[in-house]
Chains A and B, each alone.
Chain A
Amino acid sequence: MSDAPLLEVKDLRVEFPTRRGTLVALDGVSFSIAPGEVLGVVGESGAGKSMTGAAIIGLLEPPGRIAGGEIRLNGRRIDNLPYEQMRRVRGREIGAIFQDPLTTLNPLYTVGHQLIETMRTHLDLSAAEARARAISWLEMVGIPAAAQRVDSYPHEFSGGMRQRVVIALALCAEPKLVVADEPTTALDVSIQAQVIALLKRLAREKGTSMMLVTHDMGVIAETADRVAVMYAGRIAEIGPVREVVKHPKHPYTAGLMASIPPLDRKVEHLAQIEGAMPRLSAIPKGCAFNPRCPKVFDRCRHERPDLMDTGATHAACWLYDKVENYA
C-alpha cells in the first residue's frame, strides 16, 4: 500500500524476567497496519498474539516489558511514552476491546456514564452533547431502546449486548486504531456472527484500522484484509488473508489450516501437527517450529529464519530462502 502506515511495529521484543532467567515472549515481531486496514493476528495459546496487542496499547502485565524494537503510531513513537501520555493515546488514538466484556466495564457505573466519561476525557464536548452521543452510539451498535438503556448498569445486559457496549466504548472517542483481543471468543456462535458483522461495518464506516487478535481462523477469514500467523513469539507468516488461508507457504500455517475441521464435509482423518507448541522456557534452537515440521532440514535446526518473500506472502522459513541472499 502506498499510504504511510498508521501503525508500525519494528523488531519488537518483550521479555519476562523470572527467577529462573529471562523469558522472551516476543522476539523480532515486525508488521504495519495501513489506515482503514484490518490486520488479523492468529496463533495458538501462548504464541504471543495477545502479548503483541498488549504491548501496542501499553498494557503489558508487569514484570513483562518491552526490551527492544519500537512501535510507531502515525510516525510517532509510543512504546516509550510516560504513563500519563500513554493514557491520553489510549482511548483517543487507540481503542481496545477485550475478550471478556464484564471485566472491561465498570460494574458500579451505568454504561452511559462510562461512555460520557470516555468521550469527555478525550473530546471537547458538553455534558448534554456527550449524553446525546452516547445514546446514538448505543443505537449504532444495535442496543434496542438506547435512550432508556443508557442509564442501565452492565449487569443488566446480556453477554452479547455487553460486548456491543464495549465496542461503543472503544470507538466513541473516534480512535484511528482499534486493538480487539478475542472480541467474540466468549460469545455463542449466533451472537458472534452479529458482533463480527457490527465490527466490520463500524470499522468500514469510520475508516478505523483494526488489529484483530483471535485463535479463530474463520473470524479472520471473514473480517481481515491481511493476517499474521504467530508461533512461539514470532511471526511465522504474514500476507493477504486469501493467500495465507488458501495457499499457506509456511509449513506451520499449512498444518494449522489443514487441522481445522471443515463444516462442509466429513474427513476420515484430520490432518494434525504432531506435538505441541514449545514453552517459552524451552524454545528450540534454530526455527522454533523445527521439531514439529514435516519439511525440516539441517539448516532449520541451527539458524533462525527471518521473514522471507514467498511471492504473495512473507514466511519465516528457510524453504523460501533465495540464493541471492548469500551474494
Chain B
Amino acid sequence: MPDATPRQAEPMLEVQDLARYFDVSRPWLQRVLAGEKRRVLRAVDGVSFSIPKGTTLSLVGESGCGKSTVARLVVGLYRPTRGRVLFDGQDLEQARADAAQRRRMQMIFQDPYASLNPRWRIRDIIAEPIRAFGLTPDKAAQTLKVQELLTQVGLSPQDGEKYPHEFSGGQRQRISIARALSSNPEFLVCDEPTSALDVSVQAQILNLMKDLQQRLGLTYLFISHNLAVVRQISDRVGVMYLGRLVELAPAETLFTTPRHPYTRALMEAIPDLEMSGRQRIPVGGEVPSPINPPPGCPFHPRCPLANARCRAEVPVLIPARSTPEALVACHAVEEGRDQPEAPLPAQRIGTTATAL
C-alpha cells in the first residue's frame, strides 16, 4: 500500500495491514443449541500508516470505528489478528520483550480518574515507571527526577506528597503525562487525553502536549473524536470508519479540502461558533454494526455518492485526484465523481441507512 510519509524522516512507528477481530459469539452450548454461527467483530480491519519521528498522527472517527483498538494494538495491549507493527524498525513483539525498547513507548489514557491509583501518593505514581525499568536506582536522584517532571507539566514539586483525590481533572491529566514521561519515552500513544476535561482545561493540556513535543522531540499517536482538537495538534490525520482508514492526509489538506464523503460529512456535522446561519446538512443514518458490516465500501449506505460499484467492491487507500498528498479510499473520488468544491448532495434529515 502506498504511503504519504515524506521519505526523509525516519518512521518511529509503522503499521502494516493491521487487523484485530474479536469473537463475540455466545457461549458454545447456547450457540450450538440455537444453531448460530460464530460472530466476529472486526474492530480493526486492514489499517496501514506510519508516523515519522517527532510528528503527530491523529486518528479520528466516531465510537466503534476502531481508533482506540489501534492505540492498544500499537502499544501491545492487544495482539493483532493480522498485520505487523514496527517500532523504530523493529517488530513490536521483539521490542516489547526488551525493557530498553519498551520504556521508549508510553500511553496516556482518557479518564484521569480511573488511571491513577487513589491509594498512592503522586510521587510514587510518577516514580513507578522509573522503578519498573530500573532507570535511577538512587533514591535521591529519583526524588529529584519526580520533582523535575512535576515542574515540567506545570505542577509544583510539593504536589508529590498529595493523593490523586486532591487534584482536579486537568491536574490529574498532568500527573498522567508526568508519569508517562518518567521513563524518558520517545513515543506517546494518547487515547482521548482531553475528552474528559472541560474546554478551558483542555486548552491547557493541549498546549502542554505541544510544548513537550517541541522540547523533547516526542512522537505522538493521538486518538480523538474531536476534529477541532485534532486540527490543533496534528501533522497528519487518519479518518477511520468501521475499522478501516477512509482518508489519511496532512492535517492542512484534510481540513481545507476533505475528500472522502465521510470526512466531509463529519466536518459538516460539527456545530460552529460562526453562526453564519448556513443550513447544515447532517449525514443521514447511523454507523452500521462492525459485526455485520455492509458489503463493498462500509460507508455506502450513508453515502450520497454511492453507486453499484461502491456496494460491491471495497475501495483501497490511494492518492486522491487533484490532492495526491491525501490518501482516500473511495471509488467516487477515484473516478472523479465527487466535486470537492461543491457541497455534498442533500439528504433528507433523519433518514436512516435502511430508508435510503
Contacts and interface: CB of A to CB of B under 8 A. Distances in A.
Interface of A: 44-45, 141-142, 144-145, 158, 160-161, 164, 188-194, 196-198, 201, 215-219, 221-223, 241-242, 245-246, 255-257, 259-267, 269-274, 276-277
A106 B347 CA distance: 32
Interface string B330-351: 0000000000000000000111
A190 B275 contact: no
A159 to B, nearest CB: 8
A218 B272 contact: yes
A158 B63 CA distance: 12
Contact of A44 (B200, B229, B267): B200
B272 A263 contact: yes
B41 interface: no
Contacts of A261: 202-203, 206, 226, 228-229, 231-232
A266 B232 contact: yes
A37 B12 CA distance: 54
A260 B273 contact: yes
A264 B62 CA distance: 20
Contacts of A260: 199, 228, 273
Interface stretch (B83-91, B114-122, B279-287): B279-287
Interface residues of B, number: 49
18 contacts: A44-B200, A45-B169, A144-B352, A190-B282, A190-B287, A192-B269, A193-B269, A193-B271, A193-B280, A218-B272, A221-B272, A257-B273, A260-B228, A261-B226, A265-B231, A266-B251, A266-B255, A272-B204
Contacts of B200: 44, 255-256, 259, 272-273
A270 B283 contact: no
A188 B62 contact: yes
Contacts of B255: 263-264, 266
Contacts of A196: 271
Most chain A CB inside 10 Å of its own CB: which residue of B168, B203, B269:
B203
A270 B266 contact: no
A260 B194 CA distance: 12
A221 B273 contact: yes
A222 B275 CA distance: 7
A198 B170 contact: no
B201 interface: yes
Interface of B: 62-63, 168-171, 198-204, 206-207, 210, 225-229, 231-232, 251-252, 255, 265-275, 280, 282-284, 286-287, 349-352, 354-355
Contact of B269 (A190, A216, A217): A190
A105 to B, nearest CB: 18
B207 A197 contact: no
Given A193-B269, A215-B198, 15 more contacts: A44-B200, A142-B350, A189-B266, A191-B286, A194-B282, A197-B349, A216-B271, A219-B271, A259-B199, A263-B267, A264-B272, A269-B210, A271-B203, A274-B204, A277-B168
A273 B268 CA distance: 29
A195 to B, nearest CB: 9
Most chain A CB inside 10 Å of its own CB: which residue of B228, B284, B351, B354:
B228
Given A144-B355, A197-B282, A263 B269 contact: no
Contacts of B207: 269-270, 272
Contacts of A189: 62, 225, 227, 266, 269-270
Contact of B203 (A194, A216, A242, A272): A272
Contacts of B252: 266
Contacts of A190: 62, 265-266, 269, 282-283, 286-287
